[in-house]
Amino acid sequence: MPLRVELKPFERIVIGDSVIINSNTRARFIVEGDVPILRERDTVSAETADTPAKRLYHCVQTMYLKNDAIRYRASYLACMNELRESVPDAAALAETVDRHVAAGALYKALKAIRMLIQCESPAIAPVEVSP
């Protein structure tokens, strides 16, 4: 089933190993075939992966874009263990991510990890002390 993509001016999209940057006007195109696609706003770089959930997202994102889950399995397990230790309240959501990854549904796993990133924020936020 073809995917219809519309890009805003200068918006970026990652298709597999390639980054496509739109020109100064809106663009609309259709992608046929089974290729991993992420909008730039839905990506996490190694530099911005500064929390356990973001590191997990970056790992699964790499698995998805490189289409090579087996190669990154050890990194995934390490990231998942780190997340489970740091945000134990998100165990059910972490289990959902794990099921998606095991089934090869990496895009669905990324969507679930986005929810984990939101859950994680209050857990790691610094506590303000009143004088």
pLDDT in tens, 6-18: 999 999 999 988 9
Taking Cα atoms as reference points, which of 82, 86, 83 lies closest to residue 112? 83
Take residue 99 and report the two structure tokens written for it. Answer: 């099921």
Asked if residues 58 and 49 have their Cβ atoms less than 8 Å apart, the reply is yes
d(CA 57, CA 42): 10
Region at 104 (left for phi over 0; alpha for psi -120 to 50; beta for the rest): left
| pTM of the full structure | 0.85
- Mean per-residue pLDDT of the chain: 89
